[in-house]
Structure 1
């Protein structure tokens, strides 16, 4: 990882008064860099969702929108680091005195805050000393700032729910309340970046991250290949022999399709392979151990680290941390390789941490695996899979639960030829996510409940997020069919103020309510 302390021009660990002086000094210095299109904070803040709050952020001086944007992102970074110290201090001193739900929510916040620090640092480094950037680069930064805001709100919602009793007032006042203003600050940063760097007319069709880019094909290649419904793999003879012995089928000969380096767009390079077999005859007998053995912080130039998980019921909670980049996990097939758990909100877990399988590492790929949460409809929110992994791909996988089955939390994700089963809000989150050629199966919920397939969580008008459902099929699951369709089923409902979901070129069976959407 980049050394955060050395990369920024000013250290982040100094006392608050000195940090404020240096931050203000940084702001005033940038005002002299450019004199064109100067405005005061009142004018600049009109472009943000909360102009009144925005005006409290800046000194009373003139500058252009990019100078204000840099200042705001820099201040967001400072506030994020302060929040991490607050959470760490509380977990160290008070965790043993807090209800488990509160401790769990704080642990979620600590994880999310660490990710947010990374996103803000990358964003600040990108915008610093530049007044123009390509559309793909701007899209990357807008994505990171959108995810940072989503992280803050996820943390705030978890704390608000967990710390609702009078005995937890210290968490509400000391952690949750300051987070409200931090969330507003992040919204200002996102708005000013969007105004200052993101082109109004996006000339490139489709998602920027699904298009070829010079120098970054390892990021986008799997998306391009999955669009065509295939993922040809390029391996060494040793890894190919292991793979073929497990799958009992030959890989296609790549001699005529590759330039020899695995990076010509026709093949996906595999750097190494390990096997997970429950009877102990493989490298590992559980998924978590195989992930721990994967290399850290790879850049993808050598290919994906492949974990092949053979058929079996794997009762474990899997979490793929941010440093386990470029992992590919292949199973023996839907309902053959199954990862299962039963955590739920009713049993004291946060929605965020109820996931059976969670991934935050960028460039994760899963193929031929079932992800399942068996908590049941009476346990309410119970997530089968949560992804906050940029450029994550799921191909020929199934996701099975009831309420909140698939948590597409943040960043950019792609699902192709997958099956998703659930009841209430069973595809939810605030990612920029595409479902293509998938089957969506509403199930029978609890009495007096209705089904909502989607609940998209876009909370800010400048977030580049949304759910796209293309060429998919919406049919009832068997238990819903047997109920004689007494349950109302909707395409979705808006979870947040700026929620957006689109269905296109998809088959929607007649059991879905004609009105489509639930208010």
Structure 2
């Protein structure tokens, strides 16, 4: 990214001034005044006794959250050990989901504590974004755990405790956000950086066609340190994808390059998990509908929604290209996930996601999807990541009788979470089965799964399948004033905004609003996508 000398000077002066001037002390009452849970906020900070500054309050809350996560780990181990196999199976595996998510929370909190350091300092822009992403994922993970336990109905005594823990982590996110406001600024606020509102400034002057640093032919996408092959007929190094992933080295760094797994054509009936230690991993298929990873787990068959995924990924900087992922459970089995993505800085390029309800679970952290196809019915793109879809085609399918389609169900629970779904330069169409049933089925752009749900459609083609209202309620008036739904420069018969909802949280965005949801500004994608050879548009078209 090129920055003008004047901009660099302003940024350096801003950082130097912030570093040279300690934050003024404020009381805990003042620090917690605008919290969603002010009483809990004051209780978290009470051990400090003396007034401190926002940075120290943020750091202290992370230390307290880390203690809480460690206690939760022991509690979950106790339940899983004490109940034997029953506890592990109960509620579709919700308790095991909680343990996995809490393990991630421990990692995230330790990383945030290290990033914030032993004393007040000015973080880099990358550091600010990383901390925001990790703290947002912390809240998301705990909310997922709580939702799973509540849905199972098996452990009511844990639900109360974990509901309180979700609030606890939300307060920590608030306090850390206040601490970060002292650094290089909040990337979601229009005035946070010089020139951020100006689409012609160097920060947003990226070419409209995106960047294609290398071609994705012949499998050579990025620099790799090693590669293996997977083939159903036994001619590769492995015949199962999971075996190749298990073979991949742990904790590969960006300096080492990517570990590449080339997957031949064929149908792979596997439920695959890319663990958190499998970093810098790239899966290269033979093409959409030629390399197919398939499974059929569903909530109707006793799994938690989290556990239904045919393909789940945690490892940072994961890439998949030219692969179809599907869940064949069908609409009658309700929630059935094809891909669940928990991986930071992850990308899917020229992939296809096939399912019905809950096809693609964009669970957490920062994600990018380019030239992909997503098929589904109810809430078929859902979750609480900071996710951007570019040049993708979203196909609504025919649901069960009396069901209504919602393309998105975004799960943001706190206004400080740096999350949302950004659909940019995409195409929204009816799949052939729905095209024949448009008179009996309504389809909407999205609905608010959680209170601060955030989704935008920008510069996309929206076909006639979308209801004139555009958006649908989750439950009567729930979240209608706290959500953020936006549309900007869309086209097509379904893009007419004249009959749209009149909710307080619905916005007809201008260019300044829309810039906040671009690859560059929403996920800081220019810093990591430029290393992947995946084409992208950093700004608006």
Verify: 1:160 aligned to 2:150, yes or no.
yes
Deviation of the 1:99 alpha carbon: 7.8
Q: RMSD of the TM alignment (CA)? A: 2.4
**In structure 2, which of residues 340, 360, 379 is the aligned counterpart of residue 425 of structure 1?**
379
**In structure 1, which of residues 60, 65, 85 is the aligned counterpart of residue 74 of structure 2?**
85
Residue 146 of structure 1 aligns to a residue in which SS? helix
Query: Does structure 2 conserve the Cα–Cα contact (< 8 Å) formed by 1:100 and 1:348?
Result: no
Aligned to 2:526: none
- Could you tell me how far apart the structure 1 residues matched to 2:378 and 2:466 are? 14
Residues 1:495 and 1:354: Cα distance change in structure 2 (over 3 Å): same
Query: Does structure 2 conserve the Cα–Cα contact (< 8 Å) formed by 1:95 and 1:103?
Result: no
Residues 1:154 and 1:448: Cα distance change in structure 2 (over 3 Å): same
Residues 1:493 and 1:204: Cα distance change in structure 2 (over 3 Å): farther
**In structure 2, which of residues 7, 31, 38 is the aligned counterpart of residue 44 of structure 1?**
31
Q: Which runs of 5+ in 2 are unaligned?
A: 1-20, 197-201, 474-541
- Could you tell me how far apart the structure 1 residues matched to 2:360 and 2:101 are? 18
Deviation of the 1:103 alpha carbon: 6.2
Aligned to 2:5: none
Matches for 1:190-339 after TM superposition, within 5 Å: 190-198=173-181, 199-200=185-186, 201-203=191-193, 227-228=210-211, 231-232=214-215, 244=218, 268-339=222-293
Query: Does structure 1 conserve the Cα–Cα contact (< 8 Å) formed by 2:92 and 2:304?
Result: no
Aligned to 1:370: 324
- Could you tell me how far apart the structure 1 residues matched to 2:90 and 2:406 are? 27
Verify: 1:485 aligned to 2:439, yes or no.
yes
Deviation of the 1:192 alpha carbon: 1.1
- Could you tell me how far apart the structure 1 residues matched to 2:147 and 2:23 are? 41
- Could you tell me how far apart the structure 2 residues matched to 1:193 and 1:132 are? 13
Verify: 1:451 aligned to 2:405, yes or no.
yes
Verify: 1:111 aligned to 2:100, yes or no.
yes
1:11-44 Cα shifts (integer Å, max 9, x gaps): xxxxxxxxxxxxxxxxxxxxxxx98521221111
Verify: 1:472 aligned to 2:426, yes or no.
yes
Aligned to 2:469: 515
Matches for 1:112-131 after TM superposition, within 5 Å: 112-128=101-117, 129-131=119-121
**In structure 2, which of residues 172, 187, 190 is the aligned counterpart of residue 189 of structure 1?**
172
- What TM-score do you get using the length of structure 2 for normalisation? 0.77
Residues 1:360 and 1:484: Cα distance change in structure 2 (over 3 Å): same
**In structure 1, which of residues 155, 172, 176 is the aligned counterpart of residue 156 of structure 2?**
172
Verify: 1:348 aligned to 2:332, yes or no.
no
1:324-360 Cα shifts (integer Å, max 9, x gaps): 0000001011000000000000100000010000000
Higher relative contact order (CA 8 A, sep 6+): 2
1:47-95 Cα shifts (integer Å, max 9, x gaps): 3221122112122431111111111110000100110111011101113
Query: Does structure 2 conserve the Cα–Cα contact (< 8 Å) formed by 1:368 and 1:397?
Result: yes
- Could you tell me how far apart the structure 1 residues matched to 2:88 and 2:307 are? 16
Residues 1:296 and 1:283: Cα distance change in structure 2 (over 3 Å): same
- Could you tell me how far apart the structure 2 residues matched to 1:443 and 1:116 are? 36
Deviation of the 1:196 alpha carbon: 1.5
Aligned to 2:340: 386
Deviation of the 1:181 alpha carbon: 1.9
Deviation of the 1:309 alpha carbon: 0.4
- Could you tell me how far apart the structure 2 residues matched to 1:442 and 1:101 are? 33
Query: Does structure 2 conserve the Cα–Cα contact (< 8 Å) formed by 1:48 and 1:54?
Result: yes
Residues 1:89 and 1:403: Cα distance change in structure 2 (over 3 Å): same
Residues 1:335 and 1:95: Cα distance change in structure 2 (over 3 Å): same
- Could you tell me how far apart the structure 1 residues matched to 2:359 and 2:103 are? 25
- Could you tell me how far apart the structure 2 residues matched to 1:392 and 1:205 are? 28
1:120-161 Cα shifts (integer Å, max 9, x gaps): 001011113233212221111011000001000000100111
Query: Does structure 2 conserve the Cα–Cα contact (< 8 Å) formed by 1:417 and 1:437?
Result: yes
Verify: 1:150 aligned to 2:140, yes or no.
yes
Per mean C-alpha deviation after superposition, the further-off stretch among 40-49 and 402-411 is 40-49
Q: Which runs of 5+ in 1 are unaligned?
A: 1-33, 207-211, 214-222, 234-242, 252-266
Residue 256 of structure 2 aligns to a residue in which SS? coil
- Could you tell me how far apart the structure 2 residues matched to 1:123 and 1:226 are? 35
**In structure 2, which of residues 63, 82, 90 is the aligned counterpart of residue 74 of structure 1?**
63
- Could you tell me how far apart the structure 2 residues matched to 1:409 and 1:354 are? 13
Aligned to 1:135: 125
Query: Does structure 1 conserve the Cα–Cα contact (< 8 Å) formed by 2:102 and 2:141?
Result: yes
- Could you tell me how far apart the structure 2 residues matched to 1:189 and 1:58 are? 10
Residues 1:145 and 1:36: Cα distance change in structure 2 (over 3 Å): closer
- Could you tell me how far apart the structure 2 residues matched to 1:96 and 1:39 are? 50
Residue 103 of structure 2 aligns to a residue in which SS? helix
- Could you tell me how far apart the structure 2 residues matched to 1:468 and 1:75 are? 33
